[in-house]
Amino acid sequence: MPKLSIIIPAHNEEVNIVKIIKKIENVLNRNKISAEIIVIDDNSTDDTSKNIITLQKKFSNLRLIQRQDKKAGVGRNFKIGFAETKGDIIITMDADLSHDPEEIPNFLKAFKNVDMVSGSRYIRDGKEELDIKRKIISRGYSLAGRILLGIKMCDISTGYRAYSKSALKKITLESKGFAIHSEIPIKFFLKNFRIKEIPISYKKRGSGFSKLRYTKEGKDYIKILLNAFKKRLLRI
């Protein structure tokens, strides 16, 4: 059984997905890391799945899950991926090349006596290429988490993380969309799981357009934070 599973949700990322898979495979080979890569194609209308199927002829550790009912959202796709993984450690990444595969060894190196290693754009040596609006929203949300919950994380909304599969099994995930990126660390924190942040370099996406819409997803992010705040008050 592979020690590591890498999950990449994708929707209309036909160009980026080929590039990131090749980059990941190169990193795994150079560092002698045994891992499976699971791509979850969420109803793409381009050649995302077709390109993965082509890559599978070269990479035997590459798996494809195709969703063809209706667009499910990142949260649902992660839950499907978590259930399908064979590894003890699960790394989640974006398909758009914003997360650098060269940092995968850093996550594994830091994964000692912890339940989650979270990539951070905002701690020392962390970098990000975000427009001012996304930067303000992202930093502001993380600040709210520290104030309301006392969670000692500088970047609650990143999607580049390594999780213990056994820890993930102990929480119930509800988010259907991007808010799952915040739901997981917050629920880990409420259960007193061990969390560590490491710096990452977040880059501008490759080709295509971002699927994140704050006007649509924002209420879910806020709901997660407020529900966690209520639970913390009840404990007090």
pLDDT at 1: 41
Q: In Å, what is the CA distance from 116 to each residue of 16, 41, 107?
A: 26, 25, 9
Q: Residue 82 in contact with residue 90, Cβ under 8 Å?
A: yes
**Nearest to 211, CA basis, from 82, 78, 73, 114:** 73
The fold for domain 4-235 equals Spore Coat Polysaccharide Biosynthesis Protein SpsA; Chain A (3.90.550)
Tell me the two tokens of residue 227: 């529900």
pLDDT class of 221 with cuts at 50, 70, 90: confident
Cα 16 versus chain centre, distance:
16
Q: In Å, what is the CA distance from 68 to each residue of 36, 41, 43, 91?
A: 23, 9, 5, 24
Residues 25-42 pLDDT 10s? 999 999 999 999 999 999
**Nearest to 35, CA basis, from 73, 80, 77, 85:** 85
- Considering only 55-59, 163-167, 210-214, 215-219, which range has the smallest mean pLDDT? 210-214
Helix (H, G, I), strand (E, B) or coil at 11: coil
Residues 88-144 pLDDT 10s? 999 999 999 999 999 999 999 999 999 999 999 999 999 988 778 888 888 999 999
Q: In Å, what is the CA distance from 150 to each residue of 16, 56, 225, 232?
A: 37, 44, 12, 10
pLDDT class of 212 with cuts at 50, 70, 90: low
